[in-house]
Every structure is written in C-alpha cells, then in structure tokens.
C-alpha cells in the first residue's frame, strides 16, 4: 500500500513573525468588527488559543519555521494562513468570512447512505491506523463523516464540514482535526489525505501514566518520518540510524539485456556499475526493482532552499530508507506476506511528479502530496501515531 501525506493545503496568504511569539487580531470580513471566541492554532502543534473580546490573540514559545495558522469557528469559514516564524514581529490581522453568506452558493454533494457502516473500516485502516494499532484510540464523532464511492473511477472520498475529534489514550493527546482531503484509489492501491490537526495534551496526576505516555511517544518517534526529516535538516541522519540507498526500477527489456551481457561476464566495470549489473542479473522472478549497495550521503539529498529556514529534499529514481535503531514491530510483521520481525524497518520513497520537497527543522515538510511512501511508513504514519511538530523526545 502506498500513500502520501500532506501538511499543507493552499497558501491563501503569507505572513511572517519573529522571535518566539505570534500576535494579531481577528475581524469580521464585512463589518470589520473584532471577533471573540475564534479558535486559533498552529496546525500539527500543541500551540493554540482563543481570541478575546477585542479580537486579539497571542501564541507564545514558538520555534522558527513554516506553519499553517488555522482560525476556525462555527459561524465562519475556516481560514488557513501560511506563516513564517522567525522573520518579523509584525502583528497580523485575520479576516473571517461568515458562513451564512455562502449558503446560496453551496452545492450539496451527494454521498453514500450508511457511509460509516460501509466504509468505516476502510477509513479507520487507511487514515487512523490498523486494528492492532488503535486499541487505546477513540474516534469520538464518526457520524459527521460522509463518503462517496465512484464506481467508474474506483475511488473512495470522505469529507465533512465539521471537525474530527480523536482521543489518543496511548500517547496522551486529544486531536482536533480539520480534514481537507481523503481519497483511496483502489485501482492503483494508493491513498492520500491532507488536513490540519491540533493537539491538546491530556492531563494526569499519576507519574506512572505520564511516564508511559513519554515512553510511548519516544517509541513512535524513533524511526518515524518526522525524525527522518529532522535528521536530514540537521545532518544527523547517520547518527539517528538512517541508511539511504538508491532503488532502481528495471524493465523486462533491461533485465534481458543485462542477462545477455552477463553470459560473457561483466568485465571492465567500476564498482558501482558492477553492483547494478550483478543485482539485475540475479533479480528474482517477477521482481522489477533492485536496491544498490552504496549509501547515499546527505549532501546528495539536501540543498539549501531560497526560502528562509527551509532546505530542499530532492532525489531521482527511488530511495530505500532503513533505520538501524528500530526493528519491525510484531503488529507490522503480521501484515507482511512473510513474517520478518527480526529485520530493521524500511520504507521506499519516490516523488510523484519529480518535484522537490521542502523540509524544516521541526520535521514538517511541504509539497507533501508529492512524496509517495511504500513499506513501513505507509503502514505506521497514521493519525493514531501522529506526534505534534513541537514534540521533542526526552533525553
């Protein structure tokens, strides 16, 4: 199963903020009056607040980077603004459009009857996590979801105008999720989604419970895609146990060509070329890919980007990402054709349209729908294992 994960929707407008706080005000787009009680949060973080009677708000203790600032309320359209923390300290103004003005223009989309009964298991497996992963995870309001299956396209979509609410008792988070896209393509066996989660820390007076949450979070973080992106940004991915190699797609014609050349032996080839020819020559029946032995260095993957605080992650062909600090969990091993619990976790990465990914120090990455994963991360990177971007493992 392959899937893509995006942490950004549209850049409606771009603001910048500096130091470690973000302040501003919220107004009605028509009356220009301040709005009280608007929920404001940075997507994928635990940092959120409510606008006061003057419409003012402030978020503190922010780390530099790129974020989506989400403003949401029952009577107003959600407003998502891309911001850059660390460049300026100018306050921003958020203008909210009343939902009442849009009612005449709204086209009510048809949806499947008994959608959750029919498609709830698929939604849970693809989006929330497999049954073995969600024992202590509660979806509080599944009834707000609508599903639409296209028989001609063989695609399933899920949508809602309400916030999804989850309680992750395993990791100690309550998650409020604004779902923007959910689609399963059954023909190509791919899945993609994008949205804006806000994390609320669960409280406990029991030290044992807090210790269990911290332990579970650290275990999830180890070997995760967030750790990988952070390690790429900081040039610590070797120290963090990651090994990256090139994966080559090989056509039947290429396999036949190499096997024909191999009859006389592969002479006068350098080490890297010999590795490729030997791998293709010995490729298994019905296999179409070979993983080359040489390790890819970080400098071959990451370049400085034109945007402040960002780095460009780009590669050709596909990549195999292996983490030497984490073995395949039993829950994942049970889903494989051959039980391989003693192996290290590995994922194959590819770029959907050959466009680069932009990464930040907190592990967030943008143009996320471009990144296609196959393997461990396709199984593990779900809502039930999602950590906020401001999470840092306890040393």
Closest C-alpha among 91, 84, 98, 62 to residue 11: 84
Predicted pLDDT at 87: 65
The pTM of the full predicted model, rounded to 2 decimals, is: 0.85
Tell whether the model's pLDDT for residue 386 goes beyond 60.
yes
Predicted pLDDT at 305: 67
Q: How confident is the model at residue 155 (pLDDT cuts 50, 70, 90)?
A: very high
Please state, in angstroms and as integers, the Cα–Cα distance from residue 143 to each residue in 72, 157, 179, 253, following that order: 20, 15, 14, 51
Predicted pLDDT at 103: 43
Domains in the chain with CATH codes? 2-105 (2.60.40.1120), 115-219 (no CATH), 223-250+288-385 (no CATH)
Q: How far is CA 334 from the centre of its chain?
A: 24
| Cβ–Cβ under 8 Å, residues 47 and 198 | no
Mean pLDDT across the chain: 87
Q: How confident is the model at residue 25 (pLDDT cuts 50, 70, 90)?
A: very high
Q: How confident is the model at residue 328 (pLDDT cuts 50, 70, 90)?
A: very high
Dmax (CA) for the chain in angstroms is 82
Q: Are strands 76-85 and 65-73 parallel, antiparallel or unpaired?
A: antiparallel
Q: Which helix H or strand E contains 381, and what residues bound it?
A: none
Predicted pLDDT at 236: 94
Lowest mean pLDDT among 143-147, 311-315, 367-371: 367-371
Tell whether the model's pLDDT for residue 18 goes beyond 50.
no
Predicted pLDDT at 7: 38
* Averaged pLDDT for residues 288-306: 88
Closest C-alpha among 289, 282, 303 to residue 245: 289
Predicted pLDDT at 52: 97
Predicted pLDDT at 71: 96
Q: How confident is the model at residue 10 (pLDDT cuts 50, 70, 90)?
A: very low
CA angle 351, 352, 354 (to 5 degrees): 60
Please state, in angstroms and as integers, the Cα–Cα distance from residue 185 to each residue in 2, 43, 148, 162, following that order: 10, 26, 12, 24
Long-range pairs, 147-155, Cβ under 8 A, ≥24: 147/111, 147/112, 147/115, 147/116, 147/118, 147/119, 147/123, 148/109, 148/110, 148/111, 148/112, 149/112, 149/119, 153/185, 153/187, 154/185, 154/186, 154/187, 155/183, 155/184, 155/185, 155/186, 155/187
Predicted pLDDT at 253: 87
Tell whether the model's pLDDT for residue 24 goes beyond 50.
yes
Q: What is the DSSP letter of 128?
A: I
Q: What is the pLDDT of residues 231-278, one digit of tens each?
A: 999 999 999 999 999 999 888 888 888 887 777 677 777 777 888 888
Q: Is the dihedral of CA 356, 176, 54, 20 positive or negative?
A: negative
State the DSSP string of 144-205.
Answer: G-EEEEETTTTEEEEE-SS-EEEEETTTTEEEEEEEEEEEEETTTTEEEEEEEEEEEEPP-S
Q: What are phi and psi of 54, to 5 degrees?
A: -90, 0
Tell me the Ramachandran region of residue 94: left when phi exceeds 0, alpha when psi lies from -120 to 50, beta otherwise.
beta
Predicted pLDDT at 208: 96
Q: How far is CA 118 from the centre of its chain?
A: 26
CA angle 97, 178, 101 (to 5 degrees): 20
Q: What is the pLDDT of residues 66-87, one digit of tens each?
A: 889 999 998 899 999 998 887 6
Predicted pLDDT at 37: 96
Please state, in angstroms and as integers, the Cα–Cα distance from residue 64 to each residue in 12, 200, 209, 224, 364, following that order: 20, 21, 31, 21, 12
**Cα(323)–Cα(3) distance, rounded to whole angstroms?**
20
């Amino acid at each position: 199963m392959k899937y893509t994960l995006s942490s950004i929707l549209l850049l409606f407008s771009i603001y910048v903020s500096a130091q470690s706080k973000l302040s501003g005000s919220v107004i009605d787009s028509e009356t220009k009056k301040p709005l009280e009680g608007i929920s404001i949060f940075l997507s994928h973080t635990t940092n959120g607040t409510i606008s006061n009677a003057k419409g003012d708000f402030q978020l503190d203790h922010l780390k530099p980077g790129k974020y989506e600032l989400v403003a949401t309320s029952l009577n107003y359209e959600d407003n998502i603004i891309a911001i850059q923390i660390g460049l300026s300290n100018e306050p921003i103004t958020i203008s909210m459009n009343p939902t009442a003005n849009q009612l005449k223009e709204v086209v009510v989309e048809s949806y499947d009857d008994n959608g959750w009964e029919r498609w709830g298991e698929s939604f849970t497996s693809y989006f929330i996590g497999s049954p073995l992963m969600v024992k202590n995870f509660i979806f509080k309001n599944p009834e707000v979801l609508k599903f639409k299956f296209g028989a001609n396209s063989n695609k399933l979509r899920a949508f809602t105008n309400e916030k999804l609410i989850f309680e992750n008792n395993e990791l100690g988070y309550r998650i409020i999720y604004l779902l923007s896209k959910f689609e399963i393509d059954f023909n190509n066996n791919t899945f993609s989604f994008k949205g804006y989660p806000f994390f609320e820390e669960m409280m406990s007076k029991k030290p044992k419970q807090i210790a269990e949450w911290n332990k579970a979070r650290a275990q999830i973080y180890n070997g995760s895609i967030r750790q990988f992106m952070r390690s790429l940004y900081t040039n610590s991915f070797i120290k963090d146990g990651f090994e990256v190699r090139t994966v080559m797609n090989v056509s039947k014609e290429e396999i036949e060509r190499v096997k024909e050349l191999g009859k006389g032996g592969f002479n006068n080839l350098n080490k890297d070329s010999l590795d490729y020819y030997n791998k293709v020559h010995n490729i298994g029946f019905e296999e179409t890919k070979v993983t080359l032995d040489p390790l890819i260095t970080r400098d071959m993957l990451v370049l400085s980007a034109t945007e402040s605080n960002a780095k460009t992650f780009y590669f050709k062909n596909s990549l195999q990402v292996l983490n030497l600090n984490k073995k395949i969990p039993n829950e994942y091993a049970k889903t494989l054709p051959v039980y391989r619990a003693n192996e290290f976790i590995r994922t194959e990465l590819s770029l959907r349209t050959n466009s680069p990914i932009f990464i930040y120090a907190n592990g967030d990455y943008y143009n996320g729908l471009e990144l296609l994963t196959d393997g461990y991360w396709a199984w593990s990177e779900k809502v039930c294992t999602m950590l906020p971007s401001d999470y840092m493992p306890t040393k």
